[in-house]
A and B are shown apart, each in its own frame.
Chain A
Amino acid sequence: MTRVLMKGTEAIAEAAIQAGCNYFFGYPITPQNEIPEYMSARLPKIGGVYVQAESEVAAINMVMGGGSTGTKIMTTSSSPGISLMSEGISYIAGCEIPAVIVNVMRGGPGLGGILPSQADYFQATKGGGHGDYRLLVLAPSTLQEAVEITQMAFDLAFRYRNPVMILADGFMGQMMEAVEIREHVSGEIPSRESWAMGCMRERGGKRSILKSLYLNPEDLEQHNIKLQKKYREMEKEVRFEAYLCDDAEILLSAFGTTARIARSAINNLRSEGAKVGMLRPITLFPFPSEKLAELASGVKHVLVVEMNMGQMVEDVEAAVCGKAKVSFFGHAGGIAPSVREIEDRIRAIL
């Protein structure tokens, strides 16, 4: 396939289809409506299923049901919708069911606004729903990366039998870029027959129960210990981009769209001779703490730039652990930090 100009939302949808996702359950919310629209037109033609749920609450439970049969399933929504899905996400994590969830973030809290934002970092990486669970959280920065991450998300979801969240923002959803979407064949993925609903015959008549209820506290703790062990194993999936970090004296840290803007600011300042670099986390959970700690010992200052009021900065501070000064610059949803603003911030630090 050659490169084609596509809108971010549609690129994510087609990438999922090319990764073998033939089932989509969703509910309309701006700014991600093109994904369910695309799926509703495309899936019936390839023998797939699109269902418009009555709410995000129902959509995520349909995702759980589809995932419980070991089928590649995706849903997409935006911030307030993800809040409604959080109950279901907790159950999916507790029952260890694979699923891919895309959040095309908009401003909050509450109804917030429909413009781009990154204010769901806490929700995605620290919980959202109840209980001790973790999602693998991936944050693409370009549409080509969004395509690759969407396809990889299905492999991760099945490898760990865990929900995977892709954190995009309204910019990524609505902008157009040239992308190449190839058919994605999964690597080694454990067979669904050992655990999924509907495979009792294949298991020789052995039933499977998918549940998160453990009334006996010792059993519940064992379940949680097992989950935590899995979350530690997920740490090897950490992904990041270290951009011009080798000689950097000032390190920026940003993800998604904001990292693109920060990159322009870094390029401009580099042409003036300033030693500025950036650590861009691609996985927000697991967070690239080790790499950040290593880089922090060689820089004077770490500037975190986000399109929210300062959320990832807490993980950066924890990783830097006093080795360098950490500061934050950001705007709430709807206003993107400009290249000039970021340059000014860096100049003030220099």
Chain B
Amino acid sequence: MKEIKIYERPRAWAKGVHTHYCPGCGHGIIHRLICEIIDELGIQNDTIGTAPVGCAALMYDYFDIDFCEAAHGRAPALATGIKRTRPDKIVFTYQGDGDLASIGAAEIIHVANRGEKLTTIFINNAIYGMTGGQMAPTTLIGQKATTCPFGRDPQLAGYPMRMCELLATLETPGFITRVSVARPKYIIETKKAIKQAFQNQIEGKGYSFVEVLSNCPTNWGMNPVQAFEWTESTMIPHYPLGVFKNFE
């Protein structure tokens, strides 16, 4: 019987490394999707990543591509400097909700508004993961976190920020979409979205923003199955999936 390989390590995944992520975390899925896309587009030698501050701070260890570390929230500015000096390269930022929507709010709005020809992958899991489960700008109303132990109160902390909708009010950005990794059918859509975002860069088009609704079993206090169920049942109603802008 002929052996058919149906699953293998993407070439863009560094050899012999395993992630430090908690069991059931969405980061591993999204990392793998990015690696598969880099392989499929044949851009391993031409892709430059910027690593965030947060759970994915060590992501440069897992990708066999050039990577530069960013300060908390500053990846869009860092990536701007990279892409402006190397417009021939595919440049992406990968940021969590605290990084992108809180401390880096100015940087994300202006990278989008300048229409930098790069890609942002925004991981929204409604909590600060690495620091141990504090309230994020995207924490849902009533959701408990270590700095809102009684649940997020909009009178004290405002309402959770919808970054796709906010950025879609700007004229410049080209591609803005929200996807999820809560179920296999969503994961397929996530791969398509990130691939299109990278393709936009190859074609020299403008700025692309892909928000991925993920999870955090550890800080949500759930097992992985419950966590992805919560992403679907509770996050998606507040953060609807879909395309908000597509170079129209």
Contacts and interface: CB of A to CB of B under 8 A. Distances in A.
A69 B106 contact: no
Nearest to B89: A198
A212 B67 CA distance: 12
Given A54-B106, A197-B82, A208-B66, A65 B77 contact: yes
B67 A207 contact: yes
Question: Lowest 6 CB-CB distances: which A-B pairs, in order?
Answer: A65-B81, A61-B77, A62-B81, A66-B81, A54-B110, A58-B77
A104 to B, nearest CB: 22
Interface stretch (B45-53, B175-183, B191-199, B218-226): B45-53
Nearest to A67: B81
* Residue among B46, B50, B58, B79 facing the most chain A CB atoms (10 A cut-off): B50
Interface in B25-72: 44-46, 48, 50-51, 57-58, 60-61, 63-71
B174 to A, nearest CB: 18
Interface in A191-214: 197-201, 205, 207-213
Given A63-B81, A197-B48, A55 B106 contact: yes
Interface residues of B, number: 38
B84 A64 contact: no
A65 B89 contact: no
A103 interface: no
At the interface, is chain B mostly helix, strand, loop or mixed? helix
Given A61-B77, A209-B60, A69 B85 contact: yes
Contacts of B63: 207
B11 to A, nearest CB: 10
Given A61-B107, A64-B68, A65-B82, 14 more contacts: A58-B74, A58-B107, A61-B74, A65-B50, A68-B81, A68-B82, A71-B86, A197-B82, A198-B66, A199-B66, A201-B45, A211-B60, A211-B68, A213-B69
B80 A51 contact: yes
Contact of B71 (A71, A87, A205): A87
Contacts of A245: none
A25 B74 contact: no
A24 B110 CA distance: 17
Contacts of B85: 23, 49, 65-66, 69, 71, 73
Nearest to B82: A65
Contacts, number: 131
Contacts of B51: 211
A88 interface: yes
* Residue among A63, A95, A198, A208 facing the most chain B CB atoms (10 A cut-off): A198
B82 A66 contact: yes
At the interface, is chain A mostly helix, strand, loop or mixed? mixed
Interface in A83-104: 87-88, 91, 95
Contacts of A208: 66-67
Contacts of A71: 85-86
A58 B65 CA distance: 24
A210 B81 CA distance: 14
A64 B110 contact: no
Contacts of A115: none
A199 B68 CA distance: 13
A64 B85 CA distance: 11
B187 interface: no
Contacts of B77: 53, 57-59, 61-62, 65
